[in-house]
């Protein structure tokens, strides 16, 4: 690990301003992803800004009837919150499907959204990776690609997004709140928060330099049967090959988002009109633009079958 300087921010705006002044700075809270990447010298920040003292660890009701989740709320606390379990069950289930209990105790809401891909070529600094070193190429293309994206990828990157929580947030139409270095705030719909790789896979979100996530807001509960199902190689502590976050109403309508198949949580609202017609019709629309490799083509059938199991459970 390379040497770095460190400070504790006193306010969100102060943290954002410090990050703007020092382009090589990174925010740190739980550090469950960043510290690993620093040890491998994938991330090499010259300065760390500790945001743990910013009092962003509350879950509060909004005037619209939803919930505002502070950026520093730990994953364990969010999953266990009575209101989340009652009204946003898909989120609680997604959180419990991720990582281990020890990591959930440290990982934060904002950190979960911003965690980086677990592509093995990204983690191996001897391999070319446009996400790690722009312009160096993508060793995953033509390499071992079983875990990689089948839709939304590009000639520059076929990595997938690792977060379970983000998939549920996408199904719930969450909104990300940030503060700028000048103290101004803005809100970003989760649908616009993540970027597809294109020619710049190292730019993963629509955050601007200095932006600090302060909260994630959930809209008023939509009810329905809420299910998160994750298919993986191990029963625990493994990332999704395919995951499904679904909210199904009594009339068969609803929402569905996929994880493990794209560079970001994958939701195509037009596909949801097909939910009363069954999983095959939904999957066909969701994955209409899929370009799988020979090694991960199985994900197309796996996504359809997993969605079918979820819809059957919702009806039952």
**Cα(110)–Cα(24) distance, integer angstroms:** 19
pLDDT tens-digit readout, 173-227: 999 999 999 999 999 999 999 999 999 999 999 999 999 999 999 999 999 999 9
- What's the pLDDT at 272? 97
The DSSP bridge partners found for residue 247 are: 226, 255
- What's the pLDDT at 282? 98
Q: Which two tokens stand for residue 35?
A: 């510290």
| 316 pLDDT higher than 90 | no
Percent with pLDDT over 90 in the chain = 98
| 95 pLDDT higher than 80 | yes
Residue 157 contacts residue 131 (beta carbons within 8 Å): yes
Kindly indicate the confidence band of residue 249, based on its pLDDT and cuts at 50, 70 and 90: very high
pLDDT tens-digit readout, 72-84: 999 999 999 999 9
CB atoms within 10 A of CB 42: 18
| 236 pLDDT higher than 90 | no
What number is the average pLDDT over the span 152-157? 98
What number is the average pLDDT over the span 11-17? 97
Of 122, 114, 123, residue with least CA distance to 27: 114
Residue 67 contacts residue 217 (beta carbons within 8 Å): yes
Residue 313 contacts residue 227 (beta carbons within 8 Å): yes
- What's the pLDDT at 3? 93
| 1 pLDDT higher than 80 | no
Q: What is the mean pLDDT of the chain?
A: 97
Kindly indicate the confidence band of residue 237, based on its pLDDT and cuts at 50, 70 and 90: confident
| 2 pLDDT higher than 80 | yes
Question: What string of H, E and C letters represents the secondary structure of the chain?
Answer: CCCCEEEECCCHHHHHHHHHHCCCEEEECCCCCHHHHHHCCCCCCCEEEECCCCCCCCEEECCCCCEEEECCCEHHHHHHCHHHHHHCHHHHHHHHCCCCHHHHHHCEHHHHHHCCCCCHHHHCCCCCECCCCCCCCECCCCCCCCCCCCCCCCCCCCCCCCCCHHHHHHHCCCEEEEECCCCCEEEEEHHHHECCCCCCCCCCECCCCCCEEEEEEECCCCCCEEEEEEECCCCCCCCCCEEEEEEECCCCCEEEEEECCCCCCECCHHHHHHHHHCHHHHHHHHCCCCCCCCCCCHHHHHHHHHHHHHHHHHHC
pLDDT tens-digit readout, 39-73: 999 999 999 999 999 999 999 999 999 999 999 99
pTM: 0.97
- What's the pLDDT at 288? 97
């Amino acid at each position: 690990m390379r040497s770095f300087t460190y400070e504790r921010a006193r306010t969100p705006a102060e943290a954002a301003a410090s990050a703007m002044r020092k382009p090589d700075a990174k925010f740190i809270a739980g550090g469950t992803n960043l510290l690993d990447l620093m040890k491998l010298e994938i991330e090499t920040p010259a300065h760390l800004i500790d945001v743990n003292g910013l009092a962003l660890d509350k879950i509060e009701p909004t005037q619209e009837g939803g919930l505002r989740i502070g950026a520093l709320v730990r994953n364990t606390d969010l999953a266990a919150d009575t209101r989340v379990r009652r009204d946003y069950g898909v989120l609680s289930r997604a959180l419990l499907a991720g990582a281990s209990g020890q990591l959930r105790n440290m990982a934060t809401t904002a950190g979960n959204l911003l965690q980086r891909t677990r592509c093995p070529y990204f983690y191996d600094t001897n391999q070319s990776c446009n996400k790690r070193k722009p312009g160096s190429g993508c060793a995953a293309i033509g390499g071992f690609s079983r875990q990689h994206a089948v839709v939304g990828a590009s000639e520059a990157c076929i990595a997938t997004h690792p977060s379970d929580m983000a998939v549920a947030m996408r199904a719930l139409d969450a909104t990300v709140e940030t503060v700028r270095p000048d103290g101004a705030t803005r809100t970003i719909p989760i649908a616009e928060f993540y970027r597809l790789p294109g020619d710049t896979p190292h730019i993963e979100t629509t955050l601007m330099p200095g932006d600090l996530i302060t909260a994630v807001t959930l809209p008023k509960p939509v009810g329905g049967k809420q299910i998160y199902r994750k298919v993986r190689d191990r029963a625990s502590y493994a990332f999704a090959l395919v995951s499904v976050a679904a909210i199904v109403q009594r009339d068969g309508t609803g929402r569905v988002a996929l994880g493990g198949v794209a560079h970001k949580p994958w939701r195509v609202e037009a596909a949801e009109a097909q939910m009363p017609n069954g999983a095959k019709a939904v999957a066909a629309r969701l994955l209409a633009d899929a370009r799988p490799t020979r090694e991960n083509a199985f994900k197309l059938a796996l996504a359809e079958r997993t969605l079918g199991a979820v819809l059957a459970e919702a009806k039952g």
